[in-house]
Amino acid sequence: MRVGFLTSFLAATLLLPGCASITTEPLPAGLTNQPPAERADLVSQLTRFSDWQLQGKLAVRQPEDSATAVINQWRQRGEHYQLVLSSAFLGMGRTELEGIPGFLELTMPDGETYRSSQPQQLIEAATGWTFPVNALVWWVRGLAVPGEDARLLFNKERRLAVLNQAGWEIRYDAWHPFVDGQPHLPSRITALKGEKRLRLVITGWQSRNES
C-alpha cells in the first residue's frame, strides 16, 4: 500500500480517460467476428441476470508488482456491488470494495475507509494497480459494457472467446454451467492491457434471485 496515497489522491484533479477506439486487426486462427444466431437472446438473458454472487481467486501481474487474492464474496444486485477480498490484494488482510458506477467505498485491512466518485483512480492511488471494477461487472458475465465500442470474437463452439474494449483484451478461457436456468458462465477469464494482466478463476456462482 502506498504511503500517503489518500492525501495525494484527494489533492489531485483526476481526469476520466477517454473512450478507446477498437482497431481492426486480422482475426486469430479459429475465431470469427460473426456472432452466433442466438447471441442476441443470450445477451438479453445475461443482462437480466443481475442479482448474483460468486467466489473465486484473483491474480494481478504488472511490471511493478504482482499479487493474488481470494474473492471470498462478490455480491451483485443490479448496479450495486460488494467485493470481499483477502490475502495479498490491496495489502495483507481483509479488504472490501462496495459501490455503484461512479462511486466506490474502499475499506482497507487496517479498517480505514475511503470514498471516491472515481473508483478506478482510487484503487490505483491505493495500490498502483489498474483494476477496472465497473467494467468487470459486465465482463465477468461475458458481456461488453453497454454504450462503448467493443470487438467480440467467437470460437468454434460459438462461445465468446475474446472481447476487446476500453484498451483491454478479455480472454474467456473456460465456461461452466454454474446456475440452473442460466447460460454457461465464465469460469476462467484473463484480462490484458499492455503489460498488465488480471486473471480471474471462478469456483462458485449462485443466483440471488428468489425463486
DSSP letters for 60-92: EE-SS-EEEEEEEEEEEETTEEEEEEEESTTSS
Please provide the CATH number assigned to the domain covering 31-206. 2.50.20.10
8 A C-beta contact, residue 56 and residue 204: yes
Q: Measured between alpha carbons, how far is 187 from 205 in angstroms, rounded to an integer? A: 9
Report the pLDDT value the prediction gives residue 92, as an integer from 0 to 100. Answer: 58
Q: In tens digits, what is the pLDDT along the chain, a chain of 211 residues? A: 444 444 444 444 233 334 444 455 677 889 999 999 999 999 999 999 999 999 999 998 988 788 888 999 999 999 999 999 987 555 557 889 999 999 999 998 888 999 999 998 998 887 667 789 999 999 999 999 999 999 999 999 999 999 999 999 999 999 999 999 999 999 999 999 999 999 999 999 999 874 3
Report the pLDDT value the prediction gives residue 114, as an integer from 0 to 100. Answer: 93
Name residues whose C-beta falls within 8 Å of residue 20's C-beta, 6 or more positions apart in sequence.
Answer: 149, 165, 166, 167
Tell me the pTM.
0.83
Report the pLDDT value the prediction gives residue 7, as an integer from 0 to 100. Answer: 44
Name residues whose C-beta falls within 8 Å of residue 175's C-beta, 6 or more positions apart in sequence.
Answer: 142, 159, 184, 185, 186, 187
Q: Measured between alpha carbons, how far is 145 from 15 in angstroms, rounded to an integer? A: 20
Q: Measured between alpha carbons, how far is 154 from 172 in angstroms, rounded to an integer? A: 10
Q: Measured between alpha carbons, how far is 85 from 157 in angstroms, rounded to an integer? A: 33
Q: Measured between alpha carbons, how far is 102 from 33 in angstroms, rounded to an integer? A: 31
Residue 76 cell numbers, joined: 451483485
Q: Measured between alpha carbons, how far is 159 from 41 in angstroms, rounded to an integer? A: 13
Report the pLDDT value the prediction gives residue 89, as an integer from 0 to 100. Answer: 56
Each domain of the chain, given as residue ranges in start order, spans: 31-206
Stretch (H or E) spanning 47: helix 39-48
Residue 27 cell numbers, joined: 482475426
Determine whether 156 is exposed, middle or buried from the number of CB atoms within 10 Å of its CB (0-12, 13-18, 19+).
exposed
Name residues whose C-beta falls within 8 Å of residue 206's C-beta, 6 or more positions apart in sequence.
Answer: 52, 53, 54, 178, 179
Q: Measured between alpha carbons, how far is 187 from 183 in angstroms, rounded to an integer? A: 12
